[in-house]
Amino acid sequence: MADAIAASRHISIVPIDGGITAPTGFRSAAVHCGIKANPDALDLAVVAVDTFASMAGLFTTNLAQAAPVLVSKRHLEINQGVGCAIVVNSGCANACTGETGLANARQMTEDVGRELGCQPEQVLVASTGVIGVGLNIDRVSAGIHDACSSLAHGNGSVAARAIMTTDPFPKEHAVRVTTTRGSFCVGGMAKGSGMIEPNMATMLGFLSTDAQVTPAMLRRVLVESARDTFNAITVDGECSTNDSLVAMASGTSGVVIDDELYPALLDGLLAVSRPLALGIVRGGEGATKLIAVTVYHARTADEARQVARTIANSPLVKTAVHGADPNWGRIVAAAGRAGVPFDINGVTVRIGGILLFDNGLPRDDAAPQAAEILKRDTIDIAVSLGSGDAGATIWGCDLSAEYVRINGEYRT
């Protein structure tokens, strides 16, 4: 879809290697500093700008916000959207850790600032892992020193691995956007496997671009691109204490983003964010199937998202998909409790294109065909509300016994 939009705007978007460091002006490094027990597991990453960058961030709406979220929000306010680095640790969320946790998050930014020669307020910090466990700040500080000593332009892949927790695979992507006024790149990496819910931000995600863009415009495009990517996914309906999505723009490509080129930047962020977001869902804890829930013929896009989100989050729908049971009744029931008015006699439900519920009446003769489709690893559920012309898609996954096992043993 992004390619089609890009073509209509006379730009081209092609995938490239490099992840978060694909755009010029960015370096990264990753080390094992002792947070994770496995000595071979990377658990700390630093992403730095060669000079300074515009920065923007979106953070969890959970009232129980982790120390790194509080510190990063404050730093963005102080630095007015201009900074030089992000430091991320995995294996410990540094959430619900009181004043000590706040001091440790600030210490991480001070350590990076000292190594890079910038102010602590120009550094953002993110953490992911177990809630209620304190960081061993001495180990983290030593790791920051080692990471900052090995920053390089080609280290995007190791950084993507270092931010993982229960993720089964790293998630990174990058593209080159060519416009009539020159080319720029967009890169990114993300982690997320559990506690994923579309209620900004949903996970840890980091985006970079070498386009020249003001902090205000960068935040605008981050919000808009996240709406239908990172903010349109769900694994288990849980909103984490640490969710953060950060974008940085180095400006080193020389391509200045104004109102004319804003759509090109938006397309670039969408082209990177969508595969990262879908990777989070495919790598969801215990997930075996990717589910795309599309609601159309709604009165508004927001109402379509609300219904689609309710269906995608339904444990009954998720378990039915896992078991390849074409139980359209669960889909209709979830839609009916979403808080969006509609006439049941105008509703249709399709699974993989197979019509199972037609304007308020069942079509159970088609159930065997739908059951076969539900054995695939990618499932499309389409619901028409018969109320208007708007639509939206939310991506989710099935619910398996493995999800219960992972989360039943998470701390032990």
Tokens standing for residue 295: 């609601």
CA nearest 179: which of 269, 255, 271? 255
Residue 326: phi and psi, rounded to 5, are -80, 60
C-alpha to C-alpha distance for 313 and 318, rounded to whole angstroms: 7
Which helix (DSSP H) or strand (DSSP E) does residue 244 occupy?
Answer: strand 244-249
What is the CA 335 to chain-centroid distance, rounded?
Answer: 25
- Give CA torsion, residues 250, 255, 256, 261, to 10 deg: -120
The active-site residue, picked from 60, 97, 202, 252, is: 202
CA nearest 398: which of 276, 238, 278, 284? 284
C-alpha to C-alpha distance for 245 and 207, rounded to whole angstroms: 8
Instruction: Quickly tell me which residue has 């879809």 as its tokens.
Output: 1
Pairing mode, strands 378-384 and 348-351? antiparallel
C-alpha to C-alpha distance for 371 and 393, rounded to whole angstroms: 22
288 is catalytic: no
Residue positions annotated with a catalytic role:
202
